[in-house]
A = this chain, B = another copy of it.
Amino acid sequence: MPELRKDPIIGRWVIIATERARRPDEFALPVEGPPEGECPFCEGSEKLTPPEIFAVRLTSAERNLPGWQVRVIPSIKPFLRIEGDLERRGKGIYDLMSSIGAHEVIIETPNHIGNMADLSSEQIAKVVATYIGRIKDLERDERFKYVLVFKNYGWAAGGGRLKHSRSQLIATPANPKRVKEELVGARKYFDYHERCIFCDLIKQELEQKERLILDLDGFVAISPFAARFPFEVWILPKEHSCDFARLKPELYIHLGEMMKIILSKLKKDLSDPPYNYVIHTAPFRRPKLGYWKTIEFDYHWHIEIMPRLTRVAGFEWGTGFYICPIQPERAAQFLRGVEE
C-alpha cells in the first residue's frame, strides 16, 4: 500500500508509490509504445482500458464504446488509491498518511495524436470542460483538499510510453507545498496592498509589454519575470478569479484557443520540445479547515507551461535556486515571433 510521508524538517509530502518499481533495474529507459492500431487510448480500443469514469459524448452512445470525444479513466498505475479512510499517524518524529486520493487520465482525443498543440481549439475547450467537470465531482469527496491537473508531454517531461495525447489529475488529501507557498505569498501581498498580486502582475505586464506573449479574449500569456525554465509561459485569466473550476463556460473556447496558439508556438519554434503544464487553482474551501478568508480576493488561478529544454541539476534540487539561461524578455520576444 502506498503511503504519503511528510519530510519532518521542511514539511513536504512525498508519495511513496512502491508499486511502480521494485528493483533498481526497473527504473526504465525510454520504451517504444504500441503502434497506432494497438493504442489503448484510441477510439475503438475502449476494452483495453479500465472502465471510464466520465466521457464527453455528443451522441447517446453507451459507456465504454466508441463515440466519445474526451474520455477519463482511472490510472492503471495510480499513485494514490480511491478506497479507504484517511488515516494520519505518527512514527516517532515522523508523520504519515494513508495514500488516499484519485489518479485519473484524461484522454484528450479519440484520434492517435501526440501533442495537444495539434488538437483544434474546440477540442481543447472540451478538455478544459472535462477538467472542470472532474474537479467539481471530486470536490464532493470530503477527504480531498486539492485537485491537481497536469500534463507530461514527451519522455524528458515524464511522459509515458504511449504517444496518445492525454493529461492527468490527482486529488490529494493534503495541499501541495508549492500551491501553499503561492497562497501564502498572495495573501501577504493582499494584506499590505488590498489587491491581488496576480491582477497587479497582469496590469504591469500589459503596460510594459516586454514579457507579454499574447493578450486575447480574456486571457494573457506571459514569460514570467523570474522564469525557472527557458521559454516558461504562464496563462492567466484577465478577470480575477481564484477558482479554475468556476471559469464561465463561454470562456472555455477562448482558453482552448490560447492554449492551442501557445502550445503551437512552442512546438514550431522550439522543435517540438517535451513540456509540462500544471493548473494552479485555489484549494477546496472546506469550512472546517478555516480557510483563508480572503482567498476569493487574493488568489488567482493560472496555468504554468514548462518546456523541458534544460536539465535541472543538483544546485536547483538542493537549494530551490533556479538558473534560467535565457532572459524572459528575449523568450517573450521570440515567442511573439518578432525575433530580431
A10 at the interface (CB under 8 A from B): yes
A178 at the interface (CB under 8 A from B): yes
Q: Nearest B residue to A93 by beta-carbon distance?
A: B200
Distance (whole angstroms) from the CB of A280 to the closest CB of chain B: 7
Q: From the candidates B94, B152, B277, B323, name the one contacting A14 in the complex (CB within 8 A).
A: B323
Asked, given contacts A226-B5, A277-B314, A315-B168, whether A16 binds B155 with beta carbons under 8 Å apart, the answer is no
A170 at the interface (CB under 8 A from B): yes
- The answer to whether B313 touches A276 (Cβ under 8 A) is yes
Residues of chain B contacted by A20 (CB below 8 angstroms): 323, 325
Distance (whole angstroms) from the CB of A243 to the closest CB of chain B: 17
Contact residues of A between 150 and 202, Cβ < 8 Å to B: 150-152, 155-159, 168, 170, 172, 176-179, 181-182, 184-186, 189, 197-198, 200-201
Q: Nearest B residue to A266 by beta-carbon distance?
A: B24
A239 at the interface (CB under 8 A from B): no
Contact residues of A between 191 and 218, Cβ < 8 Å to B: 197-198, 200-201, 204, 208
Asked, given contacts A27-B230, A230-B21, A313-B157, whether A93 binds B13 with beta carbons under 8 Å apart, the answer is no
Residues of chain B contacted by A177 (CB below 8 angstroms): 319-321
Residues of chain B contacted by A5 (CB below 8 angstroms): 225-226
Chain A contributes a number of interface residues (CB within 8 A of B) equal to: 89
CA of A6 to CA of B303 in the docked complex: distance in angstroms?
Answer: 19
Residues of chain B contacted by A336 (CB below 8 angstroms): none
Asked, given contacts A8-B225, A92-B204, A230-B27, whether A314 binds B306 with beta carbons under 8 Å apart, the answer is yes
A104 at the interface (CB under 8 A from B): no
A18 at the interface (CB under 8 A from B): yes
Interface stretch of the complex, out of A46-54, A56-64, A326-334 = A326-334
- The answer to whether A24 touches B269 (Cβ under 8 A) is yes
Residues of chain B contacted by A197 (CB below 8 angstroms): 8-9, 93
- The answer to whether B321 touches A13 (Cβ under 8 A) is yes
Distance (whole angstroms) from the CB of A254 to the closest CB of chain B: 23
Beyond the given A148-B321, A306-B318, could you list 15 further A-B residue pairs with CB under 8 A, ordered by the A residue number? A8-B189, A10-B185, A24-B269, A148-B315, A150-B315, A151-B314, A152-B314, A155-B311, A172-B321, A177-B319, A177-B321, A276-B313, A276-B317, A277-B314, A278-B318
Please list the residues of chain A having a beta carbon within 8 angstroms of any beta carbon in chain B: 5-18, 20-22, 24-25, 27, 79, 92-94, 148, 150-152, 155-159, 168, 170, 172, 176-179, 181-182, 184-186, 189, 197-198, 200-201, 204, 208, 224-228, 230-231, 269-271, 276-278, 280, 304, 306, 309-315, 317-328, 330, 334
